[in-house]
Amino acid sequence: MKIYLMSIIISSLCISVLNLLIPKGSGLEKYTKLIGMLILLITIISPLSQVINKFDIGYLDKLKDDILDSQVAEEEKYSDILDEYLRDHSVEQYKLQIKDLLLSKFDIPNEECEINISVISGHDRLEIKDMQILLSGKSIFKNPYEIEEYFIALVGCECRVLIKNQ
C-alpha cells in the first residue's frame, strides 16, 4: 500500500513539474494536462486492475465449481428418480406375473386375488423379500398351503396366503 501511495504522489509531482516547464500560451498546456491526467489515472487504476483480476479468477473458478456441483447433483437427482421409477415398475411387473401364474395354475378369478410383495434393492437388481397373496370370494376355499409351497419353490422367498376382509 505504501508503494502504491508513493507512486501516486511521485506521478502527481512529475506532472506538476512538467506543467511548470511548459511555456504559457504555447498551446501545449492543455495537451500536457490531458496526458498528465491520463498517466495519473492509469497509476491509480493499475493496482485495482490486479485486484479485480485476482477476484475474477477466484470468482470464476468458484462459479465453475458451483456449476459442476449443481450438474452432478442434478444428474444424481434424475438418476434417483429413474431408479425409483424402474424399481416401482419392476415391482408391478412382478405382481402381474405372479398373479398370472396364480390365475392359471390354481384357477382363481382375477377379482378374487390381490398380490403384495416387498423387494430389496441391491447391486442393480431387485430381490423379492416376501409375498402376500390375498384371496376373497370363493377362492378362500383353495388350499393355502399348496399355493404357498408352489410360490416358495418358484420364487424362493417367504409367501403367505391370507383371506382378504371385505
Mean pLDDT (the chain, rounded): 82
With respect to residue 12, please indicate whether it lies within any of the assigned structural domains.
no
Q: What is the pTM of this model?
A: 0.50
Which tens digits make up the pLDDT trace of 90-132? 788 888 888 888 888 888 888 988 998 888 876 667 778 889 9
Domain hosting residue 153, numbered range: 81-163
With respect to residue 30, please indicate whether it lies within any of the assigned structural domains.
no
Question: Does 149 have pLDDT greater than 70?
Answer: yes
What would the 3-class secondary structure string for the chain be? CHHHHHHHHHHHHHHHHHHHHCCCCCCCHHHHHHHHHHHHHHHHHHHHHHHHHHHHHHHHHHHHHHHHHHHHHHHHHHHHHHHHHHHHHHHHHHHHHHHHHHHHHHCCCHHHEEEEEEEEEECCEEEEEEEEEEECHHHHHCCHHHHHHHHHHHHCCEEEEEECCC
With respect to residue 154, please indicate whether it lies within any of the assigned structural domains.
yes
Q: Domain with 142 in it: what CATH number?
A: 3.30.300
**What is the predicted pLDDT for the residue at 98?**
87
**What is the predicted pLDDT for the residue at 122?**
66
With respect to residue 96, please indicate whether it lies within any of the assigned structural domains.
yes
With respect to residue 11, please indicate whether it lies within any of the assigned structural domains.
no
Angle at 112 between CA 90 and CA 155, to 5 degrees: 40
With respect to residue 99, please indicate whether it lies within any of the assigned structural domains.
yes
With respect to residue 106, please indicate whether it lies within any of the assigned structural domains.
yes
How far is 60 from 97, CA to CA, in rounded Å? 55
More confident: 165 or 136: 136
How far is 22 from 33, CA to CA, in rounded Å? 10
With respect to residue 46, please indicate whether it lies within any of the assigned structural domains.
no
Which band of pLDDT confidence, cut at 50, 70 and 90, is reported for residue 58? low
Mean pLDDT, rounded, for 137-166: 87
Domain count, the chain: 1
**What is the predicted pLDDT for the residue at 55?**
64
